[in-house]
Amino acid sequence: MVKVKVKEKQNKVFICTGTGCVLSGSEKVKSAFKEEFKKRKISEIDIVQTGCHGFCQQGPIVVIQPEGVFYPTVSAENVSRIVEEHLIGGEVVEDLLYEDSRTGKKISLYKDINFYQKQNRIVLRNCGQINPEEIDDYIESGGYKALEKVLNKMSPEEVVEEVKASGLRGRGGAGFPTGLKWSFAQKAPGAVKYVICNADEGDPGAFMDRSVLEGDPHSVLEGMMIAAYAIGASEGYIYVRAEYPLAVKRLKIAVEHAKKKGFLGKNILGSSFDFEIKMKEGAGAFVCGEETALMASIEGKRGMPRIRPPFPAQSGLWGKPTNINNVETLANIAWIITNGADKFAAIGTEKSKGTKIFAVTGKVKNGGLVEVPMGTTLRKVIFDICGGIKDDKKFKAVQIGGPSGGCLPTEFLDTPIDYESLTQTGAIVGSGGMVVMDESSCVVDLAKYFLTFTQKESCGKCVPCRVGTKRMLEMLERMTKGESDEKELVLLEELARDVKVASLCGLGQTAPNPILTMLEYFQEEFEEHVKEGRCRAGVCSELIAYVIKENVCRGCGVCKKHCPMGAITGEKKQPHEIDVTKCVKCGICMQHCPFDAIYIAK
Amino acid sequence: MSKINLTINGEKIEAEPGQTILEVAKENGIKIPTLCHDPRLKSYGACRVCLVEVEGARNFLPACATKVGDGMAVRTNTIPLYKIRRTIVELLLSDHELSCLTCESAGQCQLQDLAYELGIEENRFKGEKHIYTIEDYNPLIERDPNKCILCGRCVRICEEIQQNKVYTFANRGFDSVVTTPYDKSLIETKCELCGQCISTCPTGALTEKMSRYKGRVWETEKVKTVCPYCGCGCELELQIKNGEIICVSADVESGVNKGNTCVKGRFGYDFVNHPDRLTSPLVRKDGKLVEVSWDEAIKTVADKFSKIKKKHGADAIAGLSSAKCTNEENYLMQKFMRAVIGTNNIDHCARL
């Protein structure tokens, strides 16, 4: 019988060193704590750097454990107070606590914050709760128990059956049943098989995989080990974006630690199971998230998708049976094995089980990572958990599923988020990107944004994607400039449909989704652009003009001073004027006008 | 293995297991357009003009890469397929240099043929067009990326058949381009100028410099022959205009070489009409080579052989034959040496 050792619990200061918090200054906060401890000769309290808490809008985040007191937007200046009043004095620093924007109340405990209360954190169970660079922390929180269980008590077939019974589906976007995928690789003949973790997260705005890798890398490794045991692989690859340096670093540490502890290598935990993990850093091509392109890239070839069949389970990496799963999918595995498929299957809807992480960005009050049961409505995620629209503006639409997803208006807010329901609307769960828009967002401009991305990231292999996305983008560009017409609007839809059905891989097949859903739900706005040359959101710069209200302008000259183009003229104390031929619509004048005398004429 | 039964456009068809829809359709006289397909190469599925409808399939499937299955019902000529093919060809033409008037490939260009078949008179798609420099640094192959449709056939033939990997793709999206490593000219790479890339290029992106402006494909007479260079016996197809070879190609469906040739077979034909070429036998008379009839030349050789044999014996004579000759000719040579001359002194350059 093999056993995982567990360390004693102790008091700790948890500082988030996920990418979001690092950007907002958590490294400085960490140094401040260290200095403060040195000054006050405190040695018994550990400073632990954790991964992402998901509440990125509130970074840098500091949590005092074991009570779980949550301090948001901590600066280095606040540190001495936390040390003095909380750690030494034993009193929570009230004014530094999180304030619920709806009730105005201060909340001290992590678990009582609305943002977390409404979530169901399975994948993100350890993110923010453990030090991702310490394997003991993972083990202490129940890590590697699932591996121990499968090696001691389960046959590979039983593992596959368990994953099948859980109803887990691929979280990378396509939603293919994970257990079924494993069974294909398991049944495929061959002595050499591979397990690949697809950590090439590339959707703009999506960062759930990054946060899992940075915050809980061992859960992904454990998932890979269990997958390898199930399909009969002894070698695994993690294909991770090189643009995620912190994830790369933490994965490398995790692999090293796992080797030292005997979770990787020969005869793992005394069993006959051998497994090793190699890392491959991707060079920044979005298309390498497509499994056949990913494998080509590992093999040293240009990352281009190929036709399937053969599927990776039959002929994958180096022509051997290969099982590829996404980070979030793998991070679910240990939980399923430990807690049982039934418990997992009890969460979610009939066909979409478990939870899904969404990366909510855009015009919401509390953006960040939200893990909710499948079937939760969009309304609950956006208005309840994320606190609604910023500045209490009106909700306009949500782009769900990243550049491959669709754009849904208000009437779909009560749509449950699951694979089938979203597909019916024209959107997809995808990797779980959620961009929320208010009235000040222009859908045509957003369509242009996403298509600029997919167009650039097309591998160039098939014609519809390579040239089709380019021509669609050019049409959108003309629309945002007022150079298009109704005929082109019809052509745009035709081309979008052709690109969707004729492209070789998922990138091209889904690239038209934003346009198609926007054309369906926001046809009027497209028509305004092409017929009237009008952008109601006031975003498309070629369709708007900055105008100075004569009766409000005091002639202070601030706008004139700031205008980078010298487009503003006027005598002191006399109303000023903007020369539209010189104006580049940067909006700097409006930002600086102390009298709100400048407005956008749409 | 048992045969596979399927229908294409409602017609019942029998096929061999492992065949693709495209192969079966072709065998049965059903045309499915292709651009990136070459029977010599692995299926690639990039151009998407060979998409067909298969009953029960979620998406349209590429005929070039989809294997036939028992009970399959395939449609190759529906209106949705026609529309998609039209869109694809229009998209390709929207970033293509339309110099068909003077393009060397006019008349044998698959893109031109497809545009004609689909009746594309006007292009619905307009926008940015690439302007690339034409590569012109070697004596044989001209590379014009402005006419490239990125089907990857040159990249693949060089890799899969020549095992040489001279070409590669670079950049992404609309700016994807076929080039050489580090954008070098062909002579700076390991290119052997075999011209296989030209043989597979469906457009005028890769053309033969020696044939430039010498004749249109429809003006030439095609003559099949065997390559005179080595013992492989590759079949060549000479394109002849006014009694002169203006181009050498090979038929992908016949010969031992199935469309493949080496640099000599494809480009080494300038000797045919060269003024220095010997067209009648020469015999040295009074120290000077003089043109004589075949009868006289053979008589001279026979006399000399007889004299040598009489004076020094048969083993003073040896025969060395060439791999350029056919098997039959080589057989005759050894028979002649053994039976007529009476020696076993025979050898062949292929043995060296």
Chain B residues within 8 A of A502 when measuring between CB atoms = 48, 51, 60, 84, 87-88
Cis status, amide bond into B62, omega within 30 of 0? no
Q: What angle do CA A483, A487, A492 make, to 5 degrees?
A: 85
- Measured torsion, CA atoms of residues A516, A521, A526, A527, in degrees rounded to the nearest 10: 120
Class of the domain covering A135-344: alpha beta
Question: Which tokens go with A208?
Answer: 């759930």
Closest CA to A344 of A360, A331, A358: A331
ipTM: 0.90
Contacts of B126 in chain A (CB under 8 A): 471, 474
List the structure tokens of B331.
């057989």
Please answer yes or no on whether A470 and B149 come within 8 Å at the CB atom: no
Q: Kindly give, in sequence order, each residue whose CB lies less than 8 Å from that of residue B215, ignoring residues fewer than 6 positions away.
A: B239, B241, B246, B247
A467 neighbourhood in chain B, CB within 8 Å: 91-92, 94-95, 125, 174
User: Was domain B4-77 assigned CATH 3.10.20.740?
Assistant: yes
Number of A–B residue contacts, CB under 8 Å? 103
For tokens 């399927």, name the residue: B6
In whole angstroms, what is the distance from residue A37 CA to residue A80 CA? 9
| CA distance to partner chain A, nearest, from residue B267 (Å) | 31
| CATH code of the domain occupying A544-601 | 3.30.70.20
Quote the pTM value: 0.89
Domains A135-344 and A443-532 share a fold: no
Of B44, B51, B150, the CB nearest to A502: B51
* Structural domain boundaries in chain B: 4-77, 95-213, 215-277, 313-351
Residue ranges covered by each domain of chain A:
12-116, 135-344, 355-438, 443-532, 544-601
Torsion sign, CA atoms B213, B216, B220, B223: positive
CA A51 to chain centre: 14
- pLDDT at position A545: 87
CB contact under 8 A, B91 and A285: no
Domain A443-532 has what CATH class?
A: mainly alpha
Pairing of strands A322-326, A194-199: parallel
Mutate to test the interface with B, among A314, A467, A490 (most CBs of B within 10 A): A467
Which residues face B53 on adjacent strands? Answer: B75
Interface touch B87/A495, C-beta < 8 Å: yes
Q: Which fold has domain B215-277?
A: N-terminal domain of TfIIb (2.20.25)
Taking an 8 Å cut-off on Cβ atoms, the answer to whether B45 and A464 are in contact is no
The distance in angstroms from the start CA to the end CA of chain A is 73
Question: For every one of its 352 residues, what pLDDT tens digit does chain B have, with 9 covering 90 and above?
Answer: 689 999 999 999 999 999 999 999 999 999 999 999 999 999 999 999 999 999 999 999 999 999 999 999 999 999 999 999 999 999 999 999 999 999 999 999 999 999 999 999 999 999 999 999 998 899 999 999 999 999 999 999 999 999 999 999 999 999 999 999 999 999 999 999 999 999 999 999 999 999 999 999 999 999 999 998 887 889 999 999 999 999 999 999 999 999 999 999 999 999 998 999 999 999 999 999 999 999 999 999 999 999 999 999 999 999 998 877 888 888 999 999 999 999 999 998 877 5
Q: Minimal CA–CA distance to A505: which of B81, B87, B48, B91?
A: B48
Tell if the CB–CB gap between A468 and B45 is shorter than 8 Å.
no
Q: Which contacts (CB < 8 Å, 24+ apart) does range B322-328 have?
A: B322/B348, B322/B349, B323/B230, B323/B231, B323/B348, B323/B349, B323/B350, B324/B228, B324/B229, B324/B230, B324/B231, B325/B231, B326/B226, B326/B233
Residues in chain B within 8 Å Cβ distance of A494: 87
Of B91, B168, B173, the CB nearest to A464: B91
How far does the CA of residue A404 sit from the closest CA of chain B (Å)? 16
Topology adopted by domain B95-213 = Alpha-Beta Plaits (3.30.70)
Tokens at A249, concatenated: 């670093």
Phi, psi torsion values for A198, nearest 5 degrees: -85, 100
- Of A307, A460, A474, nearest to B176 by CB-CB distance is A460
A306, A466, A494 ranked by CB distance to B173: nearest: A466
Interface of A with B (CB under 8 A): 285, 287, 302, 304, 306-307, 455-464, 466-471, 474, 491, 494-495, 498, 501-504, 509
Beta bridge partners of A65: A12
B1 DSSP assignment: -
Candidates A288, A466, A499, A507: best to mutate against B (most CBs of B within 10 A) is A466
Instruction: Give the bridge partners for B207, in sequence order.
Output: B142
A457, A474, A501: residue with CB nearest B60: A501
C-alpha distance from A511 to closest chain B C-alpha (Å): 12
Antiparallel, parallel or unpaired: β A433-438 and A98-99: unpaired
DSSP B351: G
Closest-CA residue of A relative to B94 is A467
pLDDT for res A4: 39
Catalogue the E-assigned strands of chain B.
Answer: 4-8, 11-15, 51-54, 61-62, 73-75, 141-143, 168-170, 177-179, 206-208, 221-226, 235-241, 244-249, 282-285, 288-291, 319-321, 346-348
Nearest C-alpha neighbor of A84 from the set A44, A43, A42, A48: A42
DSSP A397-426: EEEESGGGSEEEEGGGTT-B-SHHHHHHHT
pLDDT of residue A3: 41
List the single residue in B with minimal CA-CA distance to A454: B173
Which residues lie below 8 Å from residue B347, measured CB to CB, with a gap of 6+?
A: B318, B319, B320, B321
Cβ-defined contact of B152 to A501 (cutoff 8 Å): no
**Chain A residues within 8 A of B125 when measuring between CB atoms:** 467, 471, 491, 495
A306, A461, A507: best mutation site toward chain B, by most B Cβ within 10 Å?
Answer: A461
CA separation for the pair B296, A427 (Å, rounded) = 89
For A355-438, CATH gives 3.10.20.600
Q: How far is A491 from chain B (nearest CA, A)?
A: 8
Strand A433-438 vs strand A355-362: parallel, antiparallel, or unpaired?
A: parallel
One DSSP character per residue, B5-38 reads: EEEETTEEEEE-TT-BHHHHHHHTT-----SS--
Sign of CA dihedral B187, B189, B190, B196: negative
Q: What is the pLDDT of residue B352?
A: 58
| CATH number for the segment(s) A12-116 | 3.40.30.10
Closest CB from A287, A467, A495 relative to B174: A467
User: What pLDDT is recorded for position A18?
Assistant: 86
pLDDT of res. B1: 66
Residues of B contacting chain A (CB within 8 angstroms): 43-49, 51, 59-60, 62, 65, 80, 83-84, 87-88, 91-92, 94-95, 124-128, 149-150, 152, 168-169, 171-176
- Burial of A9 from C-beta contacts in 10 A (0-12 / 13-18 / 19+): exposed
Q: Which residues of chain A have pLDDT under 50?
A: 1-9
Per the CB < 8 Å rule, is A463 touching B91? yes
- Please tell me the distance from the alpha carbon of residue A144 to that of residue A303, in angstroms, as a whole number: 34
| β-pair type (A12-16, A46-50) | parallel
Give the distance from residue A509's alpha carbon to the nearest chain B alpha carbon, in angstroms.
Answer: 10
User: How far from A418 is each of A249, A367, A372, A499, CA to CA, in Å?
Assistant: 33, 21, 11, 25
